[in-house]
A and B are shown apart, each in its own frame.
Chain A
Amino acid sequence: MSSLDEKIEEAKKLSMHIVKESEEEKLMTLSVGPQHPGTGHFRFIIKLDGDYIVNVDLDLGYVHRGEEKMCEYRNYFTNIPHLERPVIHDSANITYSYSLAVEDLIGITVPRRGQFLRALTSELDRINYTLYWLAIYGIFLGHSTMFMWPAADRELVLDLLERLTGHRITHAFNIPGGVRNDMPNNFKEKCLSQINYLEKRLKEYEHIFYNNPLFRQRTEGVGVLSKEDAIKLGVTGSVLRASGVPYDIRKVEPYDIYNEIDFNVQYMKTCDSFARAYIPFLDVRESCHIIRELLDKMPESGDVREKLLSNIKGPPGESFKRVESGRGALSYHLVSDGTSRPYRVKISTGSFRNIIALPFLLVGSKLGDMPAIYWSLNYWPIEADR
């Protein structure tokens, strides 16, 4: 019997205890969120026995926007700007898989330079997202320097993205057929210098945060999600890779030019909160490496976009594409009935897959471990609610 089953049994036993009158007086019900500095647009109701969490009840959906339904009333191009709203700081990735799915549906291929630019924005946004996530992880553990540093260094990447796409966040850069416009002059030099500086800063992050004994004390051996449990629960992205499964969509199902890029899939076998906190950081390093390689291999000139009609009609059929976003696999399932609008769009996000693991990790842990476990799951509430 795996540890997950044991935990479920334990949780069931404890929930049965809750029904008893005498036990109920011992427990304290604590509502964490939505107006709580420790959650965001999301709530979980926990029951405490002393300092131990015995029951967790997730309550999602505070920021549901109906993105999937909205897609059915717009054509394939006008869907782009509203689709990136759930993750404004990782908008390149959430529109990436949508564009791939539409291209698969109508059967076109993106010009080679366009593919490189897409991958470049995708990696820059991964860094952008992860630094933001790291900042919040810092303040969740009470480390105020770690809150400020990534939030300030994020400006480097935002500056690059503004030069490239015209917007700091929500770029609407990826569109079906390629990218909106070409890269500006001397972007390459600027990008390389910024990335070099960022890599220097990453070393400092490691010194002040990841090598801090207090941080290690709080995260090592906390919230262990074993390999079997991780696969059983269906978590993706950094959470899955922290549990010892080297599964990266960029390697497993390479899209666009990722099969030409040489990079390593980061994974750890310790399965704890520390691994889940460290993997995204390693991903940022790997992204810096990928960006250098992309800039190196990029063709000097060429089209960046396949010319398409403004209201393209997809042939009746279905398509399914996924990319590796900052939070894990981000997939779109498109169904077309032959009109200029999609018949059905299903978005599957990494955040929602990862938050499923939260109750199993929290039950039996201490209240002080709650922020360390919760935010290590690489969860973005708005994306999960869509």
Chain B
Amino acid sequence: MGALNSEFRFGNFVGSIVQLVLFILAFVTLLVLPIIFFVLFFVPLPVVDGQVLTPYLFFSMMVDPSRTIPVMQFLIHTDLFRAAVFPGFAFAALIAASTIFIERKLLAKMQLRVGPLYAGKIEGIFQLLADGLKLISKEIIVPSGADKVIFWLAPIMFVSTSAAVVALIPVAPGWVAADVDVGLIAVFAILGFFPLIILLFSWASNSKYPFIGGLRALHQMVAFEIPFLLSALPAVIFAGSLNLSNIALSQNIFWNILVMPVNAFVFFISSLAELERVPFDLPEAESEIVAGWLTETSGMIFGLIQLGNYLKLYALAGLFVILFLGGWYGPQIFPPELIPGASTSDVSLLRLVALEGLYNPVTINSIFWFTVKTFVVILLMLITRGINPRIRIDILLHTGWYKLIVLTFINLFVVLTLIYGGILGPGGLISVK
């Protein structure tokens, strides 16, 4: 009985637990509940289905699950839900986590790696959790000469900036966290923040390797920003709008990639450079500058930056789908009704969803096709990591400034010819009706 303290008494143990529960109850009744009611007194309560959604009504819904349907319908149309859960952060984070999982499996298959293929029970999915827990539990080491404020702020800025890009990506008609009229410009404006954050962080680290890495990131991102923006231009000309939803809607007849394959290629290469993925992982080149601008990161600071990177990966893959792969368009594979002939007498949750209009076949279909296409693009981005070595900085700058910019103009001319010839575009022979 080495694990048990010799002064251990069972009675004391039970007593301490009872005491703890009492304290918690007292805390809730005396402090938390009054605060909630105080707040509710001032906050205008939402009207759901003709009734004011009071806490009493909310609790009564636990008894009758069918009454939660209007609340759910109300909730999923709030801005908070869109920003935080569905087309926004949680959805993107889920895709990011599955991307990490797929990346490991795919590369393990390609590279004869043993670990990720066989570790753990359910396809090694617990390894992801273990990695996450490891990052959370690790000590965060701040270098002694570091600029502490920026060192702590930069990872948070990195994640929030990535999340801001994610918020602009529509996944289905009407399903976007921020429906901005200048959506594409907004995406590039937000992406322009990343070199700044990286440079600030590398400067704040007060170390030579991060500094070189930060400068490399700055050069790289500035060099690839212009071809990045130019390659998206023909899609805008087609749609006659900068709104990402409108760009996706303009592709209901054919995908943009059929008309502008060169631009899609340039966009893909530029997004790899923007994401610092192989072969453009110069800012993190380990054999030259240890871990580049991430050298001094540890624990959750590193974790946050990785999360931001994968969010960004999702956002740029989604942007590729919206601009070139026809957005959410695809064959309708979901039935018009979830369960044909369902009656009101049955109260299982699935039937409730089917009956009360939460199931919209067009939206579900759009989300499905958007997700599938996004994963295909993500897969392409991952495969390049398995087959390429790292590129050198001068070759990279040469590629960005000379080759890619020239390439973007080829498709621009093609598209302009088609539009002035009256074949495509707004008001052309083949266009959106």
Contacts and interface: CB of A to CB of B under 8 A. Distances in A.
Interface of A: 28, 30, 36-38, 51, 138-149, 152, 208-209, 212, 214-215, 217-218, 366-371
Contact of A212 (B281, B387, B392, B394): B387
Contacts of A217: 391-392, 395
B107 A144 contact: yes
B110 interface: yes
| Residue with the greatest number of chain A CB neighbours at <10 A, chosen from B278, B290, B389 | B389
Contacts of A214: 279, 388-391
B208 interface: yes
Contacts of B394: 51, 366, 368
Given A38-B286, A138-B389, A367 B212 contact: yes
B208 to A, nearest CB: 6
B282 interface: yes
B288 interface: yes
Contacts of A209: 389
A218 B389 contact: yes
Nearest to A374: B287
Given A37-B286, A367-B212, A141 B390 contact: yes
B112 interface: yes
Nearest to B395: A217
Contacts of B386: 144-145
Contact of A145 (B111, B212, B282, B285): B111
Given A38-B286, A370-B288, A142 B392 contact: no
13 contacts: A36-B290, A141-B389, A142-B389, A147-B111, A148-B111, A148-B113, A149-B112, A209-B389, A212-B389, A217-B391, A367-B288, A368-B282, A368-B394
Contact of A368 (B112, B285, B385, B387): B285
B24 interface: no
Contacts of B290: 36-38
B52 interface: no
Nearest to A32: B288
A329 B282 CA distance: 36
B393 A368 contact: yes
Nearest to B386: A145
Majority secondary structure, B binding face: helix
Given A366-B393, A368-B282, A28 B208 contact: yes
Contact of B388 (A30, A148, A152, A212): A212
Contacts of A215: 389
Contacts of A212: 387-389
Given A148-B111, A368-B392, A369-B392, A38 B279 contact: no
Contacts of B390: 141-143, 214, 218
Contact of B393 (A51, A143, A149, A208): A51
A368 B394 CA distance: 9
Nearest to A219: B389
Nearest to A155: B112
A6 B287 CA distance: 29
Contacts of A146: 389
Contacts of A140: 287
Contacts, number: 86
| Residue with the greatest number of chain A CB neighbours at <10 A, chosen from B281, B286, B287, B385 | B287
Contacts of A208: 387
Contacts of A148: 111-113
Contact of A30 (B107, B208, B285, B287): B208
A366 B396 CA distance: 13
| Residue with the greatest number of chain A CB neighbours at <10 A, chosen from B107, B286, B390 | B390
Contacts of A370: 287-288
A218 B278 CA distance: 14
A51 B393 CA distance: 9
A278 to B, nearest CB: 15
4 A-B pairs with the lowest CB-CB distances in the bound complex, closest first = A142-B390, A148-B111, A38-B287, A143-B389
Given A143-B390, A148-B112, A212-B389, 13 more contacts: A37-B287, A140-B287, A141-B389, A141-B390, A142-B281, A142-B285, A144-B278, A144-B386, A145-B111, A214-B388, A218-B392, A368-B394, A370-B287
Nearest to A31: B208
A160 B92 CA distance: 49
B388 A139 contact: no
A215 B208 CA distance: 27
B60 to A, nearest CB: 58
B112 A142 contact: no
Given A144-B385, A145-B110, A368 B288 contact: yes
| Residue with the greatest number of chain A CB neighbours at <10 A, chosen from B279, B290, B385 | B279
Interface string B72-113: 000000000000000000000000000000000001001111
Contacts of A368: 282, 285, 288, 392-394
Nearest to B286: A37
Contacts of A147: 111
B108 to A, nearest CB: 9
Nearest to A147: B111
B80 to A, nearest CB: 41
Contacts of A141: 287, 389-390
Contact of A142 (B107, B113, B279, B393): B279
A163 B412 CA distance: 64
A152 B281 CA distance: 25
Interface string B277-303: 011011001111110000000000000
A92 B279 CA distance: 38
Contacts of B388: 142-143, 212, 214
| Residue with the greatest number of chain B CB neighbours at <10 A, chosen from A37, A138, A212, A370 | A37
Nearest to A207: B387
Contact of B391 (A37, A218, A369, A371): A218
A37 B295 CA distance: 12
| Residue with the greatest number of chain B CB neighbours at <10 A, chosen from A30, A144, A149 | A144
| Residue with the greatest number of chain B CB neighbours at <10 A, chosen from A141, A142, A145, A214 | A142
A139 B285 CA distance: 10
Nearest to A152: B112
Interface string B364-392: 00000000000000000000011111111
Nearest to B209: A30
Contacts of B289: 367
Contacts of B387: 145, 208, 212
Contacts of A149: 111-112
Nearest to A372: B392
Contacts of B279: 142, 214
Interface string B102-139: 00000100111100000000000000000000000000
Interface in B379-425: 385-395
